[in-house]
Amino acid sequence: MRGKSVLGAVALVVLGILFGAVLVSGFGWVKPGLADVKLGADKSPVMPNAELNNFSQAFIEVSEKVTPSIVQINVVAEAKKGQGFDFFPFGDMDGSPKESEGSGSGIIISNDGYILTNNHVVENAKRVEVILNDRRKFEAKVIGTDPLTDLGVIKINATNLPAAYLGNSDGLKVGQWVMAIGNPLSLSSTVTAGIISALNRGSLRLINDSYGVENFIQTDAVINPGNSGGALVDLNGAVIGVNTAIATRTGTYIGYGFAIPINLAQTVAKDLIANGKVSRGYIGVQIREVDAALAKSLGLSRPTGVIIEKVVEGGSASDADIKKGDVILKIDGKEVNAPNTLQSHVAGKSAGSKVVLTIWRDNKEIERTVTLKPRGDDNVAVKDNSDRPEKEDNSSSEQIKLENIGLTLRNLKADELKKYKLDNGVFIADVKPYSLAYDQGLGRGLVITRADRKDVSTVADIEKIFKSSKGRAVLLEVADNQGNSRYVGIEIPD
């Protein structure tokens, strides 16, 4: 027994020595002192780069210098359908919306309190509150709005404000770095960065008016509800756009945002401050982009310009010998390749201003000087044919099918001519899906009134023209039952 006790004691001593060795070894069982704690590697994986640091510093400086010029705008307004993606309706106990509340952003454009924002932010406003970057709050007055450009100007009673520097949006390039500064999702003073991903972006249908000006800067800098009215700036800190909208299926950012070019915004803002409204001039035409087939049918070497489909009677264009079917190639020497290019240029001009149009007519270029007039009703005059003599009824059973084009045509009855308010034409009875006619936007129910600049009254007329035009494009003029007409170019296969 005694021997076993001795052995046990020796074993305990040995275990104690071993346990102590483990505690002071590298197994981490002894808690180190604060000075002994070392985290991370000894050096960064990439050596410091002066160019990269300077690039980063540009973003930092722009954020610091421009953010004080951007304000948050809180608005209570009359509820209105389609008010904008920055607003949320609220109403009575029965759930019917009476008012809407929302927040947007604004750009200080003068040190005495004028602020540029979007029309949809302050439209129908009952109360407007402005919160500055230093957290001061002011009640604001709406000076004026321009729904056709979605711009507005408000004013607060303050002095010595940090006005933003307004740059030049005409010199922008796709791929250029930009920053969006605003107050998205009620998060004040948020800065995001990206590039200009497209210029002169139109046809977004954000402005529900045929005279609406959509000529946006497209960017992948993140823009969300609340950014509206905020600034898009370059890396020099110059404001080059007013953030306005996003492309989204969810209501929040999924890829692209859109900003109004600052050159247009400045022109509108000056008019609103001086007059409370925009005294804009108009040419008085309805236009459409020229595609490849239309260009070929018009004798143009490439798709360029916009074709005039209607001229307002008594408007600026009609007074300047501008005709339906003319193609506007340039305005004041600037090439025009889309309707919004022309619209945005004219939007910066006041009534009474002159513009020079370069026009393609009868296979040659001509120039016309147009004195812009203010917008009236601008209803395109439609000839009233109600009192014209009845025409003989073309046999409605006479019908042709043009398989190579994808068109089925038939003659019009006299009562149909009267319904369409036309003197002549051939009815499109059917269009084959994915055919040449289908691709050019022709559809059942339209009437072809002219082909190759000649009036057509029967299917025989148009068949003759098509047969003699194989291998080239033919210019068609088509009308709908609402009195609207447009031009279409269609290539006739050999």
Catalytic residues: 120, 150, 228
> Is 265 in contact with 286 (CB distance < 8 Å)?
no
**Residue reference for tokens 């269009």:** 431
d(CA 198, CA 370) in angstroms, rounded, equals 30
Structure token pair of residue 493: 């296969």
> Is 75 in contact with 128 (CB distance < 8 Å)?
yes
- DSSP for 103-125, written as a single string: EEEEEE-STTSEEEE-HHHHTTE
Q: How far is CA 348 from CA 67, 109, 186, 264, 374, in A?
A: 28, 18, 32, 6, 13
Start-to-end C-alpha separation, the chain: 119
d(CA 135, CA 129) in angstroms, rounded, equals 12
Q: For the purposes of burial, counting CB atoms within 10 Å of the CB of 460, is it exposed (0-12), middle (13-18) or buried (19 or more)?
A: middle
Structure token pair of residue 325: 């079917």
> Is 386 in contact with 375 (CB distance < 8 Å)?
no
Closest of 87, 233, 114, 121 to residue 169, by C-alpha: 233
d(CA 175, CA 269) in angstroms, rounded, equals 28
Structure token pair of residue 346: 């004219």
d(CA 18, CA 162) in angstroms, rounded, equals 72
d(CA 213, CA 203) in angstroms, rounded, equals 9
Torsion angles phi and psi, residue 91, rounded to 5? -160, -150
d(CA 186, CA 72) in angstroms, rounded, equals 8
